[in-house]
Structure 1
């Protein structure tokens, strides 16, 4: 994740009347621990300032929240986390929290495709339909349970747009149909423009408008502040980095912008692969997946054709907790353009030290072949083959094997070719010529016999 950075936006708002304190904090934040401490203090002060403008909501709502928290904390050992997550995910619990910030008219594409108003509370992020007060079903996310957050450009759009992608805990890895997570990933789309007038409301509206040059700056600030205030310091917003990976394919819609994704298929569904600093993300159609680097055991390149190839990612499922049952061990993405192989293999797979399982299997097969062939000629052939393939990548070796197989098939077709089975006229002509040659040979033999007889006489 890297060293933490000072949240200058929150610090600037909290200490806007005391620039001397702000300067002192910047000078003193010389270690990760101090930086985290200053950020926590700023988030706490900001939260207190935001809620000081009004009460914490009706007394009935406050009592309801207190009851929910006391029931959760009184559970026996081993049940607290699961029960609190289930209770906290309920829309009624989210509605009981005062809305600190509301951003209206936001496009949501998962788990439902519709425009919603997004509401930020102390404990929850949820969506609700315009003109309503109740959270939409299935779109209520406790801040503490968001495990991964991403900020990615939307491919194949003429206008620049970005997706925010959130994976609740236990929803990122591929699972069997019987073991799916209770909460699906959330995907919302924002344009590269400033928020519309009147689209920001809530107790923190004034602070939000101060950082709302664009939708992205507004959401980055609101999301980071909310997660830190809820105690979720482990989750940070991860963006694609063209320096780490970018496709060589030119984007027809935005030709001057490097694509940080590659197109592919998972089964029959098309989508996009993003090779990110923390792992590989597949989107944006259901089911969305995120494969963290620390879960990837190895990769293999398969089904290599002249223009495309497949990539198989092997996952570590032995260390997955009980809250994520039924994890698939391997996942395959197909029909990836061969032009992107070098970028995937060299600038991502090798840079992160991921094992190339396809190369390892081919080398193992070559060693076994050399050990089994004890004759000198076979040994020489194996040595020559090993030298010829030394230094080639797995994809190049697979291409060579496919070409050799195609050549072998052509050779077999040539061996099966029978000239006598072609046109009848050609066969008849050849037969007539052979008959004439035979008659001429018989006449010559008769002449020779006569001459010999005359000599004898």
Structure 2
């Protein structure tokens, strides 16, 4: 395959000089020149990164850019490092160089900022920009490959139906433990979750633009249908197949409390406090979400070890969620407490959701953790294993048993539980109330002792008879 220009890196380096970028594109007419221009772009990136680390250079160049370059078949590719290692400026710069495919105007964004913006969809990014502007808003630019969870939820306490879309990039939704002596500048801050609100109506005329606008019009009878299509299509096109757009489901959980604003609609949330902040808990198919005030929290099912209840009063109770903090780059809070839940919802929460998902059973937590780790390992090392001829990352044992990795992990967890039960049975002592048939209560030594005792009794009886005869 002939070498191709790394337009992504070149666009970031020369975004302020489109004339130079156009000249490079015209001059890159041979593989040698194309490779040379790619090497120059990579070198400039490294110098900009070094200047940012040393704190010199103008403010426009003081943004650290982390790019991993890979060479494959003579083609240079740019791969953005994971969210959490990138400052917000990186995504904004990269998104600005990506052509806009679809633009939806005048959308109410509530997080990370509360303001109306135009939402722009590109091949690699989703970002917000102010009306009349041509550049993304700092901190509201997200690579599609960085989005880990996406939700579609009704907005509580509104007389007119409205819906929130919640997009969670990696490292943005678990509560990070407070660490003393750590300055905010010591570590790059990850992107914050994106939350925007849409009404249940159709988009206004003229609010949809871009090359994909005609295709979008076919699914624009409501805002929800438009964004469902746009988000799902963009995630799949960018190769992010792991992220699914999840909605609340009354069959999985709904509150018994009646909504005064929409009495004919089942509430899929409960009111709760996180510290002094009031918010709403949503019990979703993939985990528990608390929103919509910052910092928004999402507790995935595979990270929950157990759920317990405290401060149970006549009308309210508190719920404590214990998390597995054994993976991830940052230390997270191990226990999250939500307060002032209504007693009327206790049964629905405990029986309908907590127990149904095994969240009160620690043995189930081990299975969920095993599944999560296997899924993460599969994402990280799956491609490498295929290139090496399909060698299994967990050894060759059980590869021909016809089971998937997740099924095999569940079987191993069940086997561990069975082994523990067997050990408990082996340790059981039936006491002196009697021997059970065929069970290890009598050994050869015990039988010999019984024989000796019986023989001793016979000798005593014979001695007594001899004394009587004399």
Q: Give the Å deviation of 1:181.
A: 4.6
Quick check: 2:86–2:188 contact (8 Å CA) kept in 1? no
Q: Does 1:273 align with 2:281?
A: yes
> Which residue does the alignment assign to 1:211?
219
Q: Give the Å deviation of 1:176.
A: 2.6
> Which structure has the bigger radius of gyration?
1
> Which residue does the alignment assign to 1:126?
127
> Which residue does the alignment assign to 1:201?
209
Structure 1 residues 191 and 62, CA gap change in structure 2 (3 angstroms): farther
Structure 1 residues 180 and 279, CA gap change in structure 2 (3 angstroms): farther
Quick check: 1:165–1:186 contact (8 Å CA) kept in 2? yes
Provide the rounded CA distance (Å) in 2 between the counterparts of 1:348 and 1:130. 43
Paired residue for 2:349, among 344, 350, 364?
344
Q: Secondary structure of the residue that 1:90 maps to in structure 2? A: helix
Quick check: 2:274–2:337 contact (8 Å CA) kept in 1? yes
Provide the rounded CA distance (Å) in 1 between the counterparts of 2:97 and 2:21. 9
Q: Give the Å deviation of 1:278.
A: 0.4
Quick check: 2:82–2:146 contact (8 Å CA) kept in 1? no
Q: Does 1:231 align with 2:227?
A: no
Provide the rounded CA distance (Å) in 2 between the counterparts of 1:216 and 1:269. 29
Quick check: 1:61–1:96 contact (8 Å CA) kept in 2? no
Bigger fraction of residues in helix? 1
Q: Does 1:182 align with 2:190?
A: yes
> Which residue does the alignment assign to 1:417?
none
Provide the rounded CA distance (Å) in 2 between the counterparts of 1:313 and 1:195. 40
Gap regions ≥5 residues in structure 2: 1-17, 26-36, 46-66, 72-77, 180-186, 363-470
> Which residue does the alignment assign to 2:336?
331
Quick check: 1:106–1:189 contact (8 Å CA) kept in 2? yes
Residues 423-447 of structure 1: CA distance to partner in whole angstroms, max 9, x if unpaired? xxxxxxxxxxxxxxxxxxxxxxxxx
Q: Give the Å deviation of 1:70.
A: 11
Provide the rounded CA distance (Å) in 2 between the counterparts of 1:61 and 1:286. 43
Structure 1 residues 289 and 83, CA gap change in structure 2 (3 angstroms): closer
Q: Secondary structure of the residue that 1:336 maps to in structure 2? A: strand
> Which residue does the alignment assign to 1:86?
86
Residues 78-123 of structure 1: CA distance to partner in whole angstroms, max 9, x if unpaired? x976378627843121111100000000000000000000000011
Q: Give the Å deviation of 1:335.
A: 0.2
> Which residue does the alignment assign to 1:107?
108
Query: Pairwise CA RMSD of aligned residues?
Result: 2.8
Structure 1 residues 222 and 172, CA gap change in structure 2 (3 angstroms): same
Alignment map for 1:130-169 (pairs within 5 Å): 130-169=131-170
Q: Does 1:311 align with 2:319?
A: yes
Gap regions ≥5 residues in structure 1: 1-56, 358-457
Q: Give the Å deviation of 1:60.
A: 3.0
Structure 1 residues 350 and 63, CA gap change in structure 2 (3 angstroms): farther
Q: TM-score, normalised by structure 2?
A: 0.59
Quick check: 1:99–1:120 contact (8 Å CA) kept in 2? yes
Provide the rounded CA distance (Å) in 1 between the counterparts of 2:22 and 2:302. 42
Provide the rounded CA distance (Å) in 1 between the counterparts of 2:216 and 2:79. 34
> Which residue does the alignment assign to 1:321?
328
Provide the rounded CA distance (Å) in 2 between the counterparts of 1:59 and 1:257. 58
Quick check: 1:170–1:181 contact (8 Å CA) kept in 2? no
Q: Secondary structure of the residue that 1:286 maps to in structure 2? A: coil
Q: How many residues align?
A: 296
> Which residue does the alignment assign to 1:355?
360
Q: Secondary structure of the residue that 1:86 maps to in structure 2? A: coil
Structure 1 residues 58 and 177, CA gap change in structure 2 (3 angstroms): farther
Quick check: 1:173–1:290 contact (8 Å CA) kept in 2? yes
> Which residue does the alignment assign to 2:171?
170
Quick check: 1:300–1:356 contact (8 Å CA) kept in 2? no
Structure 1 residues 306 and 210, CA gap change in structure 2 (3 angstroms): same
> Which residue does the alignment assign to 1:49?
none
> Which residue does the alignment assign to 1:20?
none
